[in-house]
Each structure stands twice: as structure tokens, then as C-alpha cells.
Amino acid sequence: MLQRLSPLKRLPHKAGLLVALLGFGISLGASAATRIVSLGGDVTETIYAIHAQDELAAVDSTSTWPEAARKLPDVGYVRQLSAEGVLALRPDLILATHDAGPATVMTQLRDAGVRIETLPASRSAADIESKIRTIGRLTGHDKEAAVLATEVARQFASLASAVAAMPSHPRTVFLMSTGQGSPMAAGRETAADRAIALAGGLNAATGIDGYKAVSPESLAAMKPDVILLMKEREEAVGGMAGVLVMPGIADTPAGKARRVYFVEGQALLGFGPRTAAAASDLQQRWAHLAP
């Protein structure tokens, strides 16, 4: 492994000079990457989980776990990146989640000579295992990735058995945002939809596509047994008490039974190394709910 230089010594005086240097092909192979920029919380979590973090030069703003990732340079929100901001870190490899962008910025980075490896969208246990192994190969940590992928597979197998043994599968609504106005519910083809299924629930919002605002009447008509929200939003919405007074909540089975759960969004919806454990925790919470 090459010795890492301090960021101050490696930074160019001008972004134009950096682009020129990269344009001449000053880059390293995947096995020798010493300055990796990680774009996506799930990608960053995986890098840390396979002990490849020593090669990390920067992350995006969604990379909030583990805590150590927050101490690295932040290149901004994964879908609203700046080419100059990323290039200033002089990466020799960018590992990006499938929706990193905008597309024009990703093209600029490639044109500057930076190697970019984009991971496909993950929505299943097999997808997560494949992603772990791919990141392991790209960072030269194949063995560590194999160990992690095997453990994640074991966790998902245990979860599947637990879900199969559930006496009922609760109707669930995942509210992605709340506050003034109607909350956003997660419908079909969303990460929340897949996470609910993995944990043994039934998404009660399958009548909508993507994330859409729902009226109090629509929410009540969904008749959810459980309502899920981001733990990151718990304080902002006033906790359980704040959710229960939202229009429509009190008219649902979940509201009447006070079955409102706050879950860690990135862990459950990120489809990374922690998703199996997060889904298992959720499954255990509602395993014995009455139909």
C-alpha cells in the first residue's frame, strides 16, 4: 500500500491544474487506490465494515455512520455534487451509489480522468451481499468482504425464517416526512416498501407510487396496524405524542393502539451491512401483533 500524503501537501493550487493532471492519466489501479471518495451512506458503511477506511479521503453528506465518517471531508449531498469539490480531494477512485449525481457532474469527473465505480441499486438480501463483495474487490479487501457477506447472508436467512413463522403480517405505513401539511407516505417501488416486506409487514400504501403526500382521509382508509417514521425526525415531530395528534392518525388502528415506531432510516432503508439487523429488530417488535 502506498504511503498516504497529507491532504495539504496533495492539494493543488488551482482546480484547473488538477484537472489537467488527471487528464494526463495520473491515476492508480483499483488495487492501489489510496484516495477513495465514497458517495452514499451504504457504500461508506460497507467500506468501514470491511476495514477499508484507511483509504477514504472523503464522503458525502449521507455518510453519517459510523461516527468516524463524519470527521472526513464532506463533498456534499450525493445527488447534488460539485465536480470541483470532489476533484479538490484528488481521488484515484470514486465508489458511488446508483443515484449519485447529477449526471453532468459524474460525466465531468470521468472526463477529468477519475475512475468511478457505480454500485447498482440494492433492494434485496442478494443485492446487499453482492454489493459487499464488489466493494471488497474494488478496495482490495476481498477476504474481509467475504466474511461480512457471509454473516449478512446468515442474518437474512434467520430473518426469513422468523417472518415465515409470523402468525400475521401487520399493515404498515412508512411516513417519510411530517410537519405542516400532509405527510409523505412510501408507496410502491420504494426502499421503505422493500424494507417493510423484509421485516414481515405489508405495505398499506401500495395504492401509490413512490413517495406522495396523503390526506388524513387517505391515511385513515389505509387502516395501518403500524406507522413507521424516521428516528431522525422523532424530536422534530414531537415524538409519539406529536404523531398521534396529526390529522388522520387517531383514526387508524395504529393510532388507536399507539403503535408508532421510530426506526433509524439509514440502517433500515440504506440496504447496507446493517439492514438485516434493523429489519430483524422491527420484525421482533411486531411479530405477535393481532391480525
Residues 172 and 148 in one domain: no
Rounded-to-integer distance, Cα 103 and Cα 97, Å: 13
In-domain check, residue 131: yes
Q: Comparing 25-29, 98-102, 117-121, 239-243, which segment has the lowest mean pLDDT? A: 25-29
pLDDT tens column, 57-114: 999 999 999 999 999 999 999 999 999 999 999 999 999 999 999 999 999 999 999 9
The pTM is what? 0.85
Rounded-to-integer distance, Cα 252 and Cα 220, Å: 5
% of the chain with per-residue pLDDT over 70: 87
Residues 215 and 122 in one domain: no
Task: Point out the domain boundary residue: 160, 175, 195.
Answer: 160
In-domain check, residue 21: no
Residues 118 and 172 in one domain: no
Q: Comparing 19-23, 114-118, 278-282, which segment has the lowest mean pLDDT? A: 19-23
In-domain check, residue 279: yes
What's the distance, CA 42 to chain centroid? 5
230 near 262, Cβ under 8 Å? yes
- The rounded mean pLDDT for the chain is 88
In-domain check, residue 188: yes
Residues 178 and 271 in one domain: yes
Count how many domains the chain has. 2
Rounded-to-integer distance, Cα 133 and Cα 115, Å: 19
pLDDT tens column, 238-264: 899 999 998 899 999 999 999 999 999
In-domain check, residue 12: no
In-domain check, residue 70: yes
* Residue 2 pLDDT greater than 60, yes or no: no
Residues 182 and 279 in one domain: yes
90 near 31, Cβ under 8 Å? no
Task: Give me the domain span that covers residue 67.
Answer: 36-160
Residues 89 and 43 in one domain: yes
Q: Taking residues 178-194, what's their average pLDDT?
A: 86
Residues 148 and 40 in one domain: yes
Residues 120 and 196 in one domain: no
Task: Point out the domain boundary residue: 110, 129, 160.
Answer: 160
Closest CA to 246 of 185, 199, 187, 193: 185
Residues 193 and 223 in one domain: yes
CATH of the domain at 60: 3.40.50.1980
The residue ranking higher by pLDDT, 53 or 17, is 53
Q: Is the bond leading into 66 cis (omega within 30 degrees of zero)?
A: yes
| Residue pointed to by grid coordinates 440494492 | 122
Task: Point out the domain boundary residue: 134, 160, 186.
Answer: 160
Rounded-to-integer distance, Cα 266 and Cα 42, Å: 8
169 near 201, Cβ under 8 Å? yes
In-domain check, residue 11: no
In-domain check, residue 146: yes
pLDDT at 40: 97
Residues 126 and 180 in one domain: no
Residues 87 and 196 in one domain: no
pLDDT at 34: 87
The residue ranking higher by pLDDT, 23 or 199, is 199
Residues 181 and 88 in one domain: no
